[in-house]
Amino acid sequence: MTKTAYPLSPDRLETKFSDKYPPYDLGEALAESNRCLYCFDAPCVHACPTSIDIPTFIKKIASGNVRGSAKTILSANLLGESCARVCPVEVLCEGDCVYTTWGRTPISIGRLQRYATENGARYVELERKHATGKSIGLVGAGPASLACAGRLALLGHEAVIYEKGTLPGGLNTTGVAPYKMPADEVLHEVEFIGSLGVKIETGVEVGKDISADELLEKHDAVFLGPGLGEDSQMDALARDTAGVLGAVEWIRRMKTDPKMSLDSVRHAAVIGGGNTALDAARELAQLGVEHVRLVYRRSEAEMRGYGHEWTQAKKEGVVLVPNAIVKEVVSQNGTVNSLALVRARNGKPTDHELDEIRTDLVIVAIGQARLLELVNMFPGVECDGRGHIVADEETGVTGNPLIFAAGDACNGGKEVVNAVAEGQRAATAIDAMLMGSDSGGKNA
């Protein structure tokens, strides 16, 4: 376990997982990097939301210049280390690799990026501008805020992140599938962002420990990167029943809470069909739960989760219950016992009752609540009809010119790499706003 200043118990369920792809050794990294064709105007770069110069960092691995390789990555993407491991490369860089077009195995860009950052990042010194005297307060310590704050610090500004929880890193720490990246390694990356001069204050909740007005008074600009809220409620489900958990909560506890145990769980049901549902189901199956069912209100073909993730889930034994909606959580002595289901047509319930399924654990993965309450504290900032913060796509600026926002709270829940790209773009725009340049927003 990687040691960091943040407290994590060694008894977490997460520690039972091993890496989906073990790290490359030198020989493997050389062999793979030498396979790269070094395309001109490479399609992989276009596919990366942070536009990492992929052929360049790969050629630097091949020439034994791992430090330079890591610098190429981190210059474009401050969270290059976690993106290397959590990015859905199958649909991003590797999906557009010309080898894929050619019907051959694409370059393992994610694994090479992990090799470069893990072995080279500690030697990288990114250029830091002189102190400007300007200060930015950032709400939430997830990928969007970390990337934004890191870039702001490099531009010479003071960047202070306020995180209501005890652990920084956002969903990278509490939500990423542990076979992709465990929490301790995420926290190590957070410390790298700290090393750029970013201050992270955990246990500080906006509206409780510090007000929005105080934030605006203390800082020259504010960045909102709160992510999405807690798990959405599901009317039919008794959330008070023991054994019923929201997916975000379940993953967080599996990764960080040593009291979380699956000892009495043989049957589990995950409700939903998106990537969070697939992550939760795969994690349960890999942790040894015998029967893991995915209850989804539409058909297999309509699942929103990535195809490659669902293929893996099936291999791990996850069974789909399609076109089904939970009518009732049946409990015994306050503990969940089974799920009563009705057939769904086009995602809507019908009267047709299906067989009850036995279950010891129900994970609800049907989305996260929005953050209206937080948003309403900041003058000029608004949410749209779906509960997303309204912010300019290029600059992240909200209805208040001093307040910027990015990440899941704005885009409704995309990948870490999208949050990083948006956060970095916002940093460039904030810098332009504070320093009086009008060139902000582009090429962040």
Partner 1 sequence: MPDLSVDFAGIKSPNPFWLASAPPTNSGEQVMRAFDAGWGGAVWKTLGDPIVNISSRLGSIDYTGQRMMGLTNIELITDRPLDVNLREITEVKKRYPGHALIVSLMVESRDDWVTLIKRSEDTGADGLELNFGCPHGMCERGMGSAVGQEPKVLEELVHWVMDAASIPVIAKLTPNITDVTEPAEAACRANVTALSLINTLQSIIGVDLDRLVPLPRVGDVSSHGGFCGPAVKPIALRMLAQLSRDPQVTVPVSGIGGIADWRDAAEFLALGATTVQVCTAVMHYGYRIVGELIDGLDAYLAEKRMDKVSDLVGAAVPAFKEWGELDLNYHVVAQIDADKCIGCQLCHVACHDGAHQCIHLPGTKAIPGNIAPMAEIAAQKAAESDGDSPYRVPWVDETECVGCNLCELVCPVENCITMVERRRAPEVDTWNDRVASGRDYVPGGLRELEKG
Q: Which two tokens stand for residue 387?
A: 């509960």
Q: 232, exposed or middle or buried, with CB in 10 Å at 0-12, 13-18, 19+?
A: middle
Which of residues 102 and 384 has its CB atom nearest to partner 1 in the complex?
A: 102
Burial of 285 (0-12, 13-18, 19+ CB in 10 A): buried
Minimum gap (Å) between residue 68 Cβ and partner 1: 15
Cβ at position 31, least distance to partner 1 in Å: 5
Complex with partner 1: residue 62 or 83, whichever CB lies closer? 62
Q: How far is the CB of 38 from partner 1 (least distance, A)?
A: 7
CB of 37 to partner 1, least distance (A): 5
C-alpha–C-alpha distance, residues 429 and 442, integer Å: 8
User: By the 8 A CB rule, do 181 and 160 touch?
Assistant: no
Q: What is the Cα–Cα distance from 45 to 41, expressed in whole angstroms? A: 8
* Nearer of residues 21 and 38 to partner 1, judged by Cβ: 38
5: phi then psi, degrees, rounded to nearest 5: -75, -10
CB of 32 to partner 1, least distance (A): 9
Cβ distance to partner 1 smaller for residue 29 or 426: 29
Which C-beta is closer to partner 1: that of 16 or that of 67? 67
- φ/ψ (deg, to 5) at 185: -75, -30
Residue 97 identity (one-letter amino acid): C
CB of 92 to partner 1, least distance (A): 11
Backbone dihedral region for residue 149 (phi beyond 0: left; psi -120 to 50: alpha; all else: beta): alpha
Question: Looking at beta carbons only, is 42 or 52 nearer to partner 1?
Answer: 42
Q: Name the β-bridge partners of 135.
A: 158
- The residues that touch partner 1, with contacts defined as CB under 8 A, are 30-31, 34, 37-43, 46, 62, 96, 98-99, 101-102
